[in-house]
Amino acid sequence: MDTRVQKLDNEPIIIVTIDADFSIREDGEAMNEVVLALLDAQPTPIFLIMDLREMKIDLEDMIFGANQAARQLHLFKHKNVRERILITASRVITLSAQGMQSPIFGGIEMKVFKTLDEALAYARDMAGS
């Protein structure tokens, strides 16, 4: 699994970085288990940032991932997730994130940014408000 999961020290932020060799079919479930365990351990709600800039994904993977996400709402709607944030320049992933707001996929709202700096600035600003 080519993924890094990091809880920032003294900040309510978890960053999940997906590398180019990540396979949603082969690695997705294991990654979700790691993230879920970290979420369960948090004393307060956090910002979950998913850095997908290097992720290689085709339409088939996108459909698989959306269906998997719909079945794993406990991860996306976890009591310790304050907001979900994606980092991507991919139009396909951005559109998919918008599609996740549909009731069919659980009504999951996600903010999308193009850089880690933008995502962190947003999360830090919201954490302070």
Percent of the chain at pLDDT exceeding 90: 50
The total number of structural domains in the chain stands at 1
129 pLDDT exceeds 70? no
Check residue 9 and report its DSSP letter. Answer: T
Domain of residue 16: give its range: 3-128
Judged against a pLDDT cut of 60, whether residue 1 lies above it is answered with no
d(CA 88, CA 62) in angstroms, rounded, equals 14
* Residue of 95 and 129 predicted with greater confidence: 95
> In the prediction, which pLDDT does 11 show?
96
For the chain, the distance separating the N- and C-terminal CA atoms, rounded to the nearest angstrom, is 36
SS3 call for 40? helix
pLDDT of residue 107: 81
**pLDDT at residue 66 is higher than 90:** no
Considering only CA atoms, which of 48, 119, 105, 52 is closest in space to residue 78? 48
Q: How many CB atoms lie within 10 A of CB 46?
A: 22
> Which residues is 18 bridged to in the sheet?
3
CATH code for position 28:
3.30.750.24
Q: Which of 25-29, 82-86, 90-94, 120-124 has the lowest mean pLDDT?
A: 25-29
What phi, psi does 89 have (nearest 5°)? -105, 0
